[in-house]
Amino acid sequence: MRALARVPAQLPTKLSTVPVDARASARGASFRGPGCIAATLDFEPLGRLANGAIIARPETSGRRRNDIERARLFSIIQAAGWPIWPLLLCSIAAFALVLERLSSLRTSRVAPPRLLDEVISVTRAHLPAADVVNKLADNSVLGMVLATGLRAVIAEPRTSEAALRGTFESAGRAAVHRLERYLNTLGTIASAAPLLGLMGTVIGMIEIFGSQAPTGNNPALLAHGISVALYNTAFGLMIAIPSLMFYRYFRGLVDGYTLDMEQAADRLVPHLMRFVVDRRQQSN
């Protein structure tokens, strides 16, 4: 048992009765003692510590890579000079507008596919109550247009077909204006970003020519001017191209929704005129 006495106190040990010729287990080292008893040291806690240290290394390296990437991005912004800041503001604004329009121009929020059929089925026998019309208006943009026509018939039973169509047209114009919100801003960013990049390019060229001197060229100023020119051109195109693509995409969605609302109004007008004719007959 003298071998056990020399084992450090901080290492956990456990005694196990094993044959004398037993070899060291994979988990620890065995020490032979008198009476055919071997003491086995359990190094599993140390193995866990080692594994924990090994697992921690990739996390540290990942953080270092993130720090390096951030430093590289900041160095690119510094190399691009002050003209890059308007482009960064345009990129943030364009990203926010794209997210907002993607959320607002969803089919479920603008023109649900089965909404018109449901309205016709509900109004097949009689006009709905006011609370039902209010729920229809809050359902979607198309629901707001259809609810406007229903309110016009409910408020004025003797309305004419021309007046009812005019009501739908007014509601449709308001709905289209709501759908086109922020699209002009996104189109302006798509048009202005290349011009801002061109402005940065011109400023970089000015710095390049300003670095020329009769006594000799300044390589640092020359490199800075080239970086300002190229980085601003690249950033301007990187902002303008996606903004223009999303602007065209949203414009196509708005045109499609406008056509759907026009067709829905044309289909609902004859259906609502039945109630106007019936009430006129009752009044006679």
Q: Are 96 and 246 contacting, i.e. CB atoms less than 8 angstroms apart?
A: no
Cα-based distances in Å from 260 to 108, 124, 172, 212, 271: 13, 21, 11, 63, 17
Q: Are 141 and 107 contacting, i.e. CB atoms less than 8 angstroms apart?
A: no
- Model confidence at 43: pLDDT above 50: no
At residue 205, the pLDDT reads 81
For the ranges 203-212, 224-233, 234-243, the maximum mean pLDDT occurs at 234-243
Distance CA 175, CA 144 (A): 8
The Cβ-side half-sphere exposure at 1, using a 13 Å CA radius, reads: 3
Q: Which amino acid is at 251?
A: R
The 3-state secondary structure of 17-29, one letter per residue: CCCCCCCCCCCCC
Rg of the chain over Cα atoms, rounded to whole angstroms, equals 38
> Angle at which helices 219-283 and 161-179 pack, to 10 degrees?
160
* Ordered strands of the 30-33 beta sheet: 13-16, 37-41, 30-33
- State the DSSP H helix or E strand holding residue 15, giving kind and residue range, or none if neither: strand 13-16
Q: Report if pTM > 0.75.
A: no
Between 66 and 254, where is the model more confident?
254
Distance CA 234, CA 240 (A): 10
At residue 82, the pLDDT reads 78
CB atoms within 10 A of CB 111: 23
Distance CA 21, CA 40 (A): 13
At residue 62, the pLDDT reads 65
- Model confidence at 5: pLDDT above 90: no
* 253 CB-near residues (< 8 Å, 6+ apart): 105, 179
Q: What is the pLDDT of residues 49-106, one digit of tens each?
A: 444 444 445 556 667 777 676 666 666 666 666 778 889 999 999 999 999 999 999 9
At residue 27, the pLDDT reads 45
Q: What is the pLDDT of residues 107-151, one digit of tens each?
A: 999 999 999 999 999 998 888 999 999 999 999 999 999 999 999
Distance CA 273, CA 15 (A): 97
